[in-house]
């Protein structure tokens, strides 16, 4: 992966609104249109109402007119190699493939690459129903 996705995720993390957890997270998606869409976590005083960086980036992607995640980078300043939470894995899965690469970053760059199949094995899939 070129550095641009890491840098985009890191810049997005700088815009996180995380006054309660103090755990800023950034995500950057390269979509099928080749463009990069970013997001950060946005918390709320009513704690369950906050949301993660990954759905912020997915929302930006959808509103930008794209629908497929080619690759995605995630970064959290306080946790090197922050993996997407369970709910985020399901949300990413909706717009990606088992071989979609997920880049886990630290402040230096991408430190580990995993696939969606590794992150979300036995993903919920209704194809068998027909």
User: Looking at beta carbons only, is 62 or 85 nearer to ligand THU?
Assistant: 85
Whether 71 is a known active-site residue: answer no
**Contact between 16 and 24 (Cβ < 8 Å):** yes
Q: Which of 8, 9, 13, 18 binds ligand THU (CB under 6 A)?
A: 18
> Burial code of 69-106, b = ≥16 C-beta within 10 A, e = fewer?
bbbbbbbbbeeeebbbeeebbebbbebbeeebbbbbbb
| Helix ranges, the chain (H) | 3-13, 53-63, 86-94, 116-119
User: Looking at beta carbons only, is 29 or 84 nearer to ligand THU?
Assistant: 84
Q: Which of residues 77-116 bind ligand THU (CB under 6 A)?
A: 84-85, 88
Q: Report the nearest approach of ligand THU to the CB of residue 116 (Å).
A: 14
- Per CB under 6 A, residues contacting ligand THU are 18, 21, 23, 25, 41, 43, 50, 52-54, 84-85, 88
């Amino acid at each position: 992966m070129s550095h641009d996705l890491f840098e985009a995720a890191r810049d997005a993390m700088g815009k996180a609104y995380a006054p309660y957890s103090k755990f800023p997270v950034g995500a950057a998606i390269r979509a099928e249109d080749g463009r990069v869409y970013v997001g950060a976590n946005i918390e709320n005083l009513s704690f369950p109402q906050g949301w993660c960086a990954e759905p912020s980036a997915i929302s930006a992607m959808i509103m930008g007119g794209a629908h497929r995640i080619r690759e995605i980078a995630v970064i959290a300043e306080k946790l090197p190699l922050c993996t997407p939470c369970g709910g985020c894995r399901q949300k990413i899965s909706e717009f990606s493939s088992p071989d979609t690469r997920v880049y886990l970053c630290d402040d230096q760059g991408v430190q580990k690459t995993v696939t969606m199949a590794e992150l979300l094995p036995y993903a919920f899939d209704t194809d068998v129903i027909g």
